[in-house]
Amino acid sequence: MRRIPALVALGLGVLSLSSPEPAAAQDASAAVAPITRLYAALTQTEQHSSEPFTQRAQALAPVVDQALSVQTILQSSVGLRYRTLPADQKQELLQAFRDFTIARYVSNFSGNGDTLTVLPGTHPSPYGSDQIVQTQISSGGGAPTEVDYVMRHFPQGWQAVDVLLDGHISQVAVQRSDFGSTLSSGSAMPLIESLKKKTQSFSSS
């Protein structure tokens, strides 16, 4: 049995009246925690790669919902066209994009022997008050790939609003380029159908 990759343990600290944890450290722990939980869940997904795809997707879904602001990522990926979409298309597009996001994670972590590591602490984003959580993913003993999460604080807590491959390639920017042609008609339906087909291809692979 493959050994579970060691994720960096990020405790919330011990409450002490005499020496409270600095606010900056508390913020860093809170921003990192959702990604730590996501990577722990992805490790479980890898270990259960023999189980049906749908079952793995259902198990991963609530963790993805907590770690990622799927709606924010979608809006940024679509761009200004998002505002002009009818409400019913927005809702259907959000559901299709959520299903696609979860399916892509399950497909990418299906018994490949990846080691997922979350680095401690955060770094400020160049934009606004977002924080960047750095992670590394390695497979087969090769050099790790840097995957960073741009975290934003919402009323419900910290969630990722973008993912940076190799520390600088924005997933939102790539998706905005990919989505552009399918939204040229002003309707979201072509993009919805495209996302559904991609989700199906992930689950069939």
Q: Where are the domains of the chain?
A: 23-180+187-204
Which pair of tokens denotes residue 94?
């959000």
Residue 101, token pair as written in the block: 């996001």
Q: Report helix, strand or coil for 155.
A: coil
| Alpha-carbon dihedral 174, 177, 181, 185, rounded to 10 degrees | 100
Q: Which pLDDT tens digit goes with each residue over 101-159?
A: 999 999 999 877 789 999 988 999 988 889 999 999 988 777 899 999 999 999 999 99
pLDDT at 25: 57
Beta partners for residue 137, in sequence order: 116, 145
Alpha-carbon dihedral angle through residues 133, 137, 141, 144, given to the nearest 10 degrees: -60
Read off the pLDDT of residues 149-202 as tens digits, 9 standing for 90 and up. 999 999 999 999 999 999 889 999 999 999 988 888 889 999 999 999 999 999
Q: Is the pLDDT reported for residue 20 higher than 50?
A: no
**CATH code for the domain defined by 23-180+187-204:** 3.10.450.710
Of residues 157 and 15, more confidence is placed in 157
Per-residue CA distances from 88 to 85, 91, 92 (Å): 8, 5, 6
Beta bridge partners of 149: 133, 163
Task: Quote the pLDDT of residue 121.
Answer: 86
| DSSP letter (8 states) at residue 31 | H
Q: What is the pTM of this model?
A: 0.84
Encoded tokens for 76: 């940024």
Q: Which of 29-33, 62-66, 83-87 has the highest mean predicted lDDT (pLDDT)? A: 62-66
